[in-house]
Structure 1
Amino acid sequence: MSDTPVADLSYEAARDELVETVQRLETGGTTLEESLALWERGEALAQRCQEWLDGARKRLDDVVAERQGD
């Protein structure tokens, strides 16, 4: 698990860490406390990825709307 604040991660970094986090949770072998920390980090990472995707969608929609207005 990275110490980098989730808000500072690029989409790719957040996605890659999310994949690693899910794999660690699926593998097991962690304490309940560690599992909870992984789950919380995973939720934050998933939200960060969604924020990036929503931002990208808005930018694309804005460009399309601008071109349709020309």
Structure 2
Amino acid sequence: MPTPSIDSRDVDSRAVEPGAGAGAAAGTSALSYEEARDELVRVVNELERGASTLEQSLALWERGEALAARCEEWLIGAKTRLDAARASASTKAE
């Protein structure tokens, strides 16, 4: 199934103003791992198309960075939970 493309015209060009980078992270904290990953794939595809303006590309890049950070948070959390479960299982086995 093809991944839908992000319309670069929908990207807020204000996100490239000085200090506006934090806006790219807005809304990522509520995303599941799968939602963040899927949106990150769409952002990367849009950037690879190269059809965006410089401002739109920068906004997409910032959004991609925020999404990648959210994915990393999920993966670190999952590893922590697995490590804790292994430690608990190891303690019970002894």
Q: TM-score scaled by structure 2?
A: 0.70
Q: Describe how 1:1-70 pairs up with structure 2 within 5 A.
A: 5-70=27-92
Q: In 2, distance between residues paired with 1:11 and 1:29?
A: 27
Deviations 1:16-44 (A, max 9, x none): 00000000000011011100000000000
Gaps of 5+ in 2: 1-5, 12-25
State the Cα RMSD in Å.
1.5
Which of 1 and 2 has greater Rg?
A: 2
Q: Distance in 2 between matches of 1:18 and 1:27?
A: 14
Question: TM-score if structure 1 supplies the norm length?
Answer: 0.93
Higher helix share: 1
Identity across aligned pairs (percent)?
58
Unmatched 5+ stretches in structure 1: none
Work out the CA distance in 1 between the residues paired with 2:30 and 2:89: 32
SS in 1 for 2:52: coil
